[in-house]
Chains A and B, each alone.
Chain A
Amino acid sequence: MSARDNILRRLRAAPQGEAPLAPDVPAFYAAVNASAPPSTRASRIELFCEKMAFWRGEVVRVRRANWPQELRQICVEKGVRSLLHGEASVHAEALKAAGIAGLKPYDRPLGEWKKELFEDTDAGFTSTRGGIAETGTLIVWPDASEPRLMSLVPPIHFALLDADQLHDTLFDAMHAQRWSDGMPTNALLVSGPSKTADIQVTLAYGAHGPKELVVLLLVNEEEMQ
């Protein structure tokens, strides 16, 4: 008998009372939503910005027409000398056209340039699959063109978030985006820069991952404030 067989046999031998019904999680969230005023695009944007600021993430509202220029400006202000971006991502051309200095595509397997990525890359730029207003959270969905470490290793992470893709809760986002149809090898929720409170419960940022998170929030003209 293998360990697997023994474990499963012991579990199956255990007495089982009446089997509980499957929990109705959608009904729970429907009831929670029904008890509060319905959210609007404006309220989602406001809540997301408030919560992200609480996590020490910077939110910059940008226009569809010229966000790459905004990003270039922020890079100059922060003294970013090299900006990592997805090689074949939909935004690669726009970044190049904006003339951002030190653009560096993630175009090789990690093993070929690990040291350079860790020690000589100031910032990374990724897209996002959406955001969650309730908790001030980004949904980051790495793939072949935007690998996993882009949002982790460089000291600054720039993330582009379309306000159209803001959801109220994690549950809403999961359902609207049909996550259960198939998950990627790695999917992430990111709420602010990396942090720790392991020394005397004192909060410190940049524990292992980025020290700064800058969200470029794509909004309409009238939402620019």
Chain B
Amino acid sequence: MNSQPLDFVPASEFKQRAADAVADDHLRKSFRGAMDFLIGKRAAQFPDAAALESQRSLAEHIRKYSLARLPELLEQLERKLTDNGVQVHWAETGEEACAIIVGIAQRHSTKLMVKGKSMVSEEVELNHAMADAGIDALESDMGEYIVQLDGEKPSHIIMPAIHKTKQQIARLFADKVPGAGYTESVDELIGIGRAVLREKFMSAEVGLSGVNFAVAETGTLCLVENEGNGRMCTTVPEVHIAITGIEKVVDKLDHVPPLFGLLTRSATGQAITTYFNMISGPRKPGEKDGPGEMHLVLVDNGRTQAYSDEQLRSTLQCIRCGACMNHCPVYTRIGGHAYGTTYPGPIGEIISPHMLGLNATHVLPTASSLCGACGEVCPVRIPIPELLVRLREEAQHDARPGHAPLRGQGAAKSRLVDAVWSGWAALYTRPALYRAFGWLATRFRALTPPMQGGWTVSRTPMKPAARTLHELMAARRKR
């Protein structure tokens, strides 16, 4: 089993990784094919554009309403869950979240923890912390299991092993799963995974899961899945630990159907997933299965920073469907690993700066052509392009007056860029100077350097025209 810590990829080397990914034909083909498939499946679920817009309006309203009442809803959720027999923990950072979970696991002398799919557990690097404590943390979602077996990280939040071909997975299983032969049959490969993981569900002391929606009204944690591994992790082991970001709470059960309907349709083009698992507490006396002990870990990890600004707060409306990455021309070309962060693609570009600081992530919001596709498909209408522009600005400048600086505020500030802009402003506000500059630039255009830094890496050099626009217009008027 793989208990080696996975390598953490620094976001700062993004450009090199992106260049490598673009040069990898096979990777590009995998992503293009898979993304086209998902785009088509989603489109088929929304034949009526007007109906989709009214669903998006409702979903956006529900998320904005939930966020506006977030502190009360979190307290209500905690109260309800506590009444139901669930222990609720709060963590300001990823390290705190890991320490809480390691602590619970150690109290139960845990050797093996089985995990259902949880992006928050990836975000806080839980598997590292468990490995350091000598506890195996085994991913049980098929895609996550494959990726972990190969010592990698997920490349897509919904389809973690999308970058691998079945031949690669066949080789991987034959090499790493004891007793498994080489087969390229997808049914047989899934059968191998099923058999290995069923053993693990039986022996694990602790099961870990994420949360898709937490309902404050009833103290209910909702999990969305197709495979059934989430149900295994939350039902078979004696202890169930759920981990989630603080933004996942909604007020009423009523608010779940509109969000759930949009989540699965936007994510994989399914009207519903095989399982929708609603958990409201550990087993009661007389019940014969289900965990005897249940915990919820509520994680901040930078979310309160996004929350403290009314524009950036909309980042937290996200229900993690992945539609923004499926439709992103940059993501489709470079794949999920190039970003170096847990959440890739457009949503990763706007959430990662809050989790990791702009020092490590200021390049990510620039990985967009601002084509707007992400904002157009977002089921909860997060204005992703606007947030990308805002974060670019925050990376280049000091905080706006009256705003607290973001973590890593101004990390991409450059004296050279500042000087160029100041010079440009001086030129533009002084007509005599501007005309003189225009005259010089056009008359001496032969002297423009052929290499112009970043511009000429993939473009032809810029060269001024032979005459300025002013001169051309004046000449035309004379005629």
Contact = CB atoms under 8 A, between A and B. Distances in A.
B146 A194 contact: no
Given A10-B304, A194-B228, A185 B161 contact: no
A59 interface: no
Given A23-B61, A191-B274, A196-B142, A180 B90 contact: no
A28 B55 CA distance: 9
B288 interface: yes
Nearest to A5: B90
Contact of B290 (A51, A114, A185): A185
Given A199-B189, A204-B190, A20 B278 contact: no
Interface stretch (B118-126, B255-263, B369-377, B444-452): B255-263
A16 B235 CA distance: 40
Contact of A188 (B146, B277, B282, B308): B277
Q: How large is the interface on A (under 10, 10 to 19, 20 to 34, 35 or more residues)?
A: 35 or more
Interface string B290-331: 100000001010001001111001000000000000000000
Nearest to B186: A202
Contact of B166 (A11, A16, A110, A200): A200
B304 A194 contact: no
A38 interface: no
Contacts of B260: 170
Contact of B160 (A7, A114, A198): A198
Interface in A173-194: 174, 179-180, 182-194
A201 B289 contact: no
Interface in B187-225: 187, 189-191, 193-194, 197-198, 201-202, 217-220
B378 interface: no
Given A25-B258, A197-B159, A3 B197 contact: no
A144 B286 contact: yes
Interface string A130-173: 00001111000001100111001000000000000000011100
B148 to A, nearest CB: 12
Interface in B101-128: none
B308 A110 contact: no
Contacts of B10: none
A198 B255 contact: no
Q: How large is the interface on B (under 10, 10 to 19, 20 to 34, 35 or more residues)?
A: 35 or more
Contacts of B410: none
A85 to B, nearest CB: 13
A180 B235 contact: no
B176 to A, nearest CB: 15
Contacts of A180: 217-218, 252-254
A10 B308 contact: yes
Most buried by B among A4, A191, A199: A199
A207 interface: yes
Interface of A: 2-4, 6-8, 10-17, 19-23, 25-26, 28, 32, 51, 55, 106, 108-111, 114-115, 118, 134-137, 143-144, 147-149, 152, 169-171, 174, 179-180, 182-202, 204, 206-210
Interface of B: 33-34, 37, 51, 54, 58, 61-62, 64-65, 68-71, 74-75, 84, 90-92, 96, 140-143, 146, 159-162, 164-166, 169, 186-187, 189-191, 193-194, 197-198, 201-202, 217-220, 226-229, 231-232, 235-236, 238, 246, 251-255, 257-258, 260-261, 268, 271-284, 286-290, 298, 300, 304, 307-310, 313
Given A188-B276, A198-B146, 18 more contacts: A3-B90, A3-B91, A7-B90, A14-B308, A25-B255, A137-B272, A149-B235, A174-B253, A179-B218, A180-B253, A183-B253, A186-B277, A189-B272, A189-B275, A195-B226, A198-B142, A209-B232, A209-B275
